[in-house]
């Protein structure tokens, strides 16, 4: 096999694509060294030049598929309504989980849990959208809690929808779950002090980096007070 880096990358991509197709169509058990090599037009030993074993290959496949999903979310331009942008992101995430159950199952496998680049980017995109909600004065909890609540609810919703028997499928469950989280996390309108002090605090925290005349230590202390 050529040592040319470009050709090597092309061969690795071909292996990952072949494994991704097998994972999508047949599940993790179908992703064997022999089967992947056959689909990629290689001899089985060639795979070990790129991956230590099946687990390493599956990790690469999950990262590849999820990275494509995250790239699509990054390309989405924000609208004038940050809450609706969050709802759109929620629907996109739910749709990804339902369309890629085997990939999503591996993403959530505790034995595989790790901070991959694609997952980190996905969380960052969510945090940025929550930050826009806070800046608009429509967040009634801290940004950190909002991100964690949305992630937890989304994970639970996808898992439930994937495990429900076909005759018990609920096409409105994802919308209802988002609405339930929204009632806890968001205000109906930009907050004013007499209506929702917590939203004012959340909005004020978004301005901390822009406050003049305070040292980094003072800003950190002020942020700690606001979180309390």
Residues 101-138 pLDDT 10s:
999 988 888 777 667 888 899 999 999 999 999 988 89
User: What pLDDT score was predicted for residue 191?
Assistant: 53
Place of tokens 């339930």: 180
Backbone angles phi, psi at 207, to 5 degrees: -95, -10
CA separation for the pair 60, 52 (Å, rounded) = 11
- The ranges of the chain annotated as CATH 1.10.10.60 are 1-51
48: its two tokens: 């070990």
213 phi-psi bin (left φ>0, alpha ψ -120 to 50, beta other): left
Residue 194 has pLDDT above 70, yes or no: no
For the chain, how far is it from start to end, CA to CA, in angstroms? 60
CATH placement of domain 62-227: 1.10.357
The answer to which of 120-124, 149-153, 210-214 has the lowest mean pLDDT is 210-214
Residue 6 has pLDDT above 70, yes or no: yes
Contacts of 214 (CB under 8 A, 6+ apart): 222
Look up the pTM and report it: 0.78
Radius of gyration (C-alpha) of the chain in whole angstroms: 22
Q: Which of 174, 85, 152, 73 has its CA nearest to residue 118?
A: 73
Architecture of domain 1-51: Orthogonal Bundle (1.10)
User: What pLDDT score was predicted for residue 1?
Assistant: 45
User: What pLDDT score was predicted for residue 192?
Assistant: 53
SS3 content of the chain, % helix, strand, coil (to 5): 75, 0, 25
Is residue 171 within 8 A of residue 136, CB to CB? The reply is no
Beta bridge partners of 186: 139
User: What pLDDT score was predicted for residue 202?
Assistant: 80
Q: What average pLDDT does the segment 149-165 reach?
A: 95
Contacts of 98 (CB under 8 A, 6+ apart): 158, 161, 162
The angle, 0 to 180 degrees and rounded to 10, between the axes of the packed helices 117-135 and 143-163 is 120
**90 pLDDT band (50/70/90 cuts)?**
very high
CA separation for the pair 61, 106 (Å, rounded) = 10
DSSP classification of residue 53:
S
Residue 42 has pLDDT above 80, yes or no: yes
Q: What average pLDDT does the segment 134-162 reach?
A: 94
User: What pLDDT score was predicted for residue 9?
Assistant: 85
CA separation for the pair 58, 63 (Å, rounded) = 9
Place of tokens 């409105």: 172
């Amino acid at each position: 096999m050529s040592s040319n880096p470009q050709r090597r990358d092309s061969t690795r991509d071909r292996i990952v694509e072949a494994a991704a197709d097998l994972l999508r169509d047949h599940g993790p058990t179908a992703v064997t060294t022999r089967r992947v090599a056959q689909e990629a037009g290689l001899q089985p030993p060639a795979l070990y030049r790129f991956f230590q074993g099946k687990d390493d290959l599956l990790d690469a496949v999950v990262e590849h598929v999820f990275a494509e999903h995250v790239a699509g979310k990054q390309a989405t331009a924000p609208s004038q309504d940050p809450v609706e942008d969050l709802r759109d992101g929620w629907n996109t995430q739910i749709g990804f989980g339902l369309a890629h159950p085997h990939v999503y199952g591996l993403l959530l496998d505790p034995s595989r849990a790790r901070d991959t680049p694609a997952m980190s980017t996905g969380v960052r995109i969510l945090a940025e959208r929550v930050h826009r909600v806070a800046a608009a004065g429509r967040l009634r909890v801290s940004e950190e809690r909002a991100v964690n609540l949305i992630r937890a609810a989304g994970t639970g919703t996808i898992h439930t929808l994937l495990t429900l028997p076909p005759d018990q499928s609920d096409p409105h469950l994802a919308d209802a779950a988002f609405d339930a989280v929204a009632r806890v996390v968001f205000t109906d309108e930009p907050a004013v002090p007499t209506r929702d002090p917590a939203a004012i605090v959340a909005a004020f925290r978004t301005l901390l980096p822009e406050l003049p005349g305070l040292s980094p230590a003072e800003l950190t202390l002020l942020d700690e007070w606001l979180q309390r």
